[in-house]
Structure 1
Amino acid sequence: MNQYHFSLNISYQTFLSHYNGAASSVQVITDNGLRLQLPALRFRPFLSQLGIRGRFRLTTDQNNKFIKLETL
C-alpha cells in the first residue's frame, strides 16, 4: 500500500463548483511534492460550511488504485 499526506483548504463555494461539474477532479500536492488528481466526489464526506480544510491521508494499492481517504 502507498500513503500520501497533504493539506487542503478549499472554500465551500469553490468546492461546490467542482462537485457540480465545473471540474470533476481536485489536484493536490503531497508533502513529498507529488501532484495527485482525485475525483471531487471523494472529498464530499469532508465538506462543511467552511469548505474542505485540514490534513488528509490518501491510501492506494500497489497499482495506485484508491483504497481510502481520511482526515488526520
Structure 2
Amino acid sequence: MPRKLSTAMDGVNLAAKLADLKEDHYRILLTVSAVTELLIDKGLFTRDELEVKAATLDLELDSLIASSLHPMA
C-alpha cells in the first residue's frame, strides 16, 4: 500500500514541476518578445532580418542535431 501512495505523490510532484516549467517558459518568452519589440522599435533590426536570422539558426541547429545523431554519415 505505501508504494501506491508514493506513486501518487510522485505524480503530483511531477505535475507541480511541469506547472513551474510552464510558468518559467511563459515569463522567458514574454521577456524575449518585449526585448525584441523594443529593438525593432529602436530600429536596430527589422522583423524580416529577425525572421531570416531565426531561420538560419534553425537550419544550423537541425544540422548539428542530425550530425550528432549520425556522426559517421
Q: How does the TM-score come out when normalised to structure 1?
A: 0.26
Structure-2-length-normalised TM-score: 0.26
Hey, which of these two has a bigger chunk of strand by percent? 1
Larger RCO (CA within 8 A; separation ≥ 6): 1
Higher gyration radius (CA):
2
Structure with the bigger percentage of helix:
2
